[in-house]
Chain A
Amino acid sequence: MLLPPFTLHRPASLTEVADLLAEHRGETALYAGGTELLLLMKEKLLRVKSLIDVKRVPGLDEITAEDGSVVIGATARHRTMERSPVLRAACPMVAAVAQHVANVRVRNVGTVGGNLAFADPHSDLATLFLALDGTVRLWRRGGERDVPLGEFVRGPYETARAEDEILIAVRLRAWPAGTVATYLKFGMYERPTLGVALAVTLDASRREVIGARIAVGCVGPRPQRFPHVERLACGHAVTDLLADAERLAGGVADAVQPVDDLHGSAEYKRDMTRVFARRALEVVAARATGQESHARFRYTVIV
């Protein structure tokens, strides 16, 4: 299928991007990898007169460590994340999940910023970054702001980014010492049907759970955290996590807000959320006690 004609702008600085956004307001779109954007344009679901390529803005693709956080530039590609020594050291789970986004061609081209700004509900990164308390940095001429990921993603293809703002980076806090985590993604299609991110922080003796984060994505309009379940998990001996897995997973399943779509009914997704929350607990419980989980589940990637 052919793309409709458009003008391509290739600015070399953020201020030039801002100028072009202002000049072509309402008739343009920011373009990086294009792995999502060009599909919409082919289908004529998005009609713009121009694209503004942000890949020539220097430094926007860098991954850097900063005050105990890691900052991933918006035009860093999935493959850059897979290979980044900074990311592997600070947030190994993110580098590992990046290896399983879509396929190698999409990972070579698609960017982190594009993935988040596009806000497809079936996104691994949004779910994972939500579990990591990620914040999105939005820049406009004269200022920038950091928006927590949970507020940034408002719904399907909808974000808190204003029309004159540019998503320039996502900031993730490095894992606290003693954190054990997993990300499970399930699906038979190119995009995941369900993603569960679970991270458990253990005390110095590695016996007691002192922190927990759980996020579920892809089943509803936006990824969700489950603070009440996270609180419930705290104070457990790690060896008791499994004994309480049904209750914890049930808490997640009861609170999740799935929707019907081509991946399945809301009811089905709620059931699968329960199943996969329990599986995530099993994997983490095994890893927390020093064993690598040998669990294998059909149509599932275990990171």
Chain B
Amino acid sequence: MPDSGTPSSSSLAFRVNGRAVELDAPASALLLDVLRDRLGLKGAKRSCDVQVCGACTVLVDGAPVSACTYLAVEVDGREVSTVEGLADGDHLDPLQEAFIARGAVQCGFCTAGMLMAATALLAEDPAPTPERVIHYLRGNLCRCTGYRKVIEAIVACGRAGRGRQ
């Protein structure tokens, strides 16, 4: 039997950074708005809004997506990871430590997206080469200064055997 559609809103149950969440959202709700406005998670940023810049990068079941152009209904039953989930209380994630140690941050607007893309990369490839980092982060743009320190930080984090599980 064809379903009757989701005209007003549907109830979604998913996990965000390990925490179970239930909420109602219309079919047209974008994941980015649900994260920022309903759940108060402001790490993912709306910037280009067309999946080019990467400032809104979050992970769905470990895979990076552009939350700005991704329907919230798609995460029903799945696990969403945002930058807010990287640190454990006051203990920063080693990747965040590596960004700080290398000064891989300037204004910080792109940083949450960079960190999430790099988290996904390190899960796939625990010790990526600089070339692999450049390929994987091609869609994460920094408009302050450049990418050298970001690349160095991610490579160093991999070399340090971080190998995020």
Q: Give chain A's interface residues, CB within 8 Å of chain B.
A: 1-11, 16, 19-20, 34-35, 38-39, 42, 50-51, 79, 99, 102-106, 108-109, 190
Which of A1, A4, A50, A105 makes the CB contact (< 8 A) with B54? A105
> Across the interface, do A5 and B28 meet the contact criterion of CB distance under 8 Å?
yes
The residues of B that contact A6 with a CB separation of less than 8 Å are 27-28
> Across the interface, do A104 and B139 meet the contact criterion of CB distance under 8 Å?
yes
The residues of A that contact B86 with a CB separation of less than 8 Å are none
| Proximity string of chain B (12-36) to chain A, C-beta cutoff 8 Å, 1 when within and 0 when not | 0000000000000011111001000
> Across the interface, do A109 and B54 meet the contact criterion of CB distance under 8 Å?
no
Nearest CB on A from B147, distance (A): 14
> Across the interface, do B49 and A104 meet the contact criterion of CB distance under 8 Å?
no
Report 13 cross-chain contacts, Cβ distance below 8 Å, ordered by A residue: A7-B7, A7-B27, A8-B5, A8-B6, A34-B69, A42-B69, A50-B5, A51-B27, A99-B135, A102-B139, A103-B140, A104-B136, A106-B66
> Across the interface, do A109 and B65 meet the contact criterion of CB distance under 8 Å?
yes
Which of B51, B65, B135 makes the CB contact (< 8 A) with A102? B51
Q: Which of B57, B63, B64, B69 is the most central at the interface, judged by chain A CB atoms within 10 Å of its CB? A: B69
Which of B29, B70, B138 makes the CB contact (< 8 A) with A103? B138
Q: A2-B28, A3-B30, A7-B27 are in contact. Are A106 and B51 (CB under 8 A)?
A: yes
Which of B2, B5, B71 makes the CB contact (< 8 A) with A38? B71
The residues of A that contact B150 with a CB separation of less than 8 Å are none
Q: A103-B139, A105-B65 are in contact. Are A2 and B33 (CB under 8 A)?
A: yes
Nearest CB on B from A186, distance (A): 15
The residues of A that contact B136 with a CB separation of less than 8 Å are 104
Please report the number of residue pairs spanning A and B whose Cβ atoms sit closer than 8 angstroms.
85
Main secondary structure of the interface of B (DSSP, over half): loop
> Across the interface, do A104 and B117 meet the contact criterion of CB distance under 8 Å?
yes
Q: A2-B30, A106-B51 are in contact. Are A11 and B2 (CB under 8 A)?
A: yes
Q: Which residue of B lies closest to A7 (CB)?
A: B5
| Proximity string of chain B (40-80) to chain A, C-beta cutoff 8 Å, 1 when within and 0 when not | 00000000011110100100000111100111010000000
Q: In the assembly, what is the distance between CA of A109 and CA of B71, in Å?
A: 11
> Across the interface, do B63 and A108 meet the contact criterion of CB distance under 8 Å?
yes
Q: A39-B50, A103-B139, A105-B139 are in contact. Are A9 and B5 (CB under 8 A)?
A: yes
Q: A8-B6, A16-B2, A103-B138 are in contact. Are A108 and B65 (CB under 8 A)?
A: yes
> Across the interface, do B49 and A103 meet the contact criterion of CB distance under 8 Å?
no
B90 CB-CB contact with A under 8 Å: no
> Across the interface, do B65 and A34 meet the contact criterion of CB distance under 8 Å?
no
Q: In the assembly, what is the distance between CA of A51 and CA of B6, in Å?
A: 10
> Across the interface, do B51 and A103 meet the contact criterion of CB distance under 8 Å?
yes
Nearest CB on A from B66, distance (A): 5
B3 CB-CB contact with A under 8 Å: yes
Q: A105-B64, A108-B63 are in contact. Are A19 and B28 (CB under 8 A)?
A: no
> Across the interface, do B49 and A105 meet the contact criterion of CB distance under 8 Å?
no
Nearest CB on A from B28, distance (A): 4
Top 8 nearest A-B pairs by Cβ distance? A103-B139, A8-B27, A7-B5, A3-B28, A16-B2, A108-B63, A8-B6, A105-B66
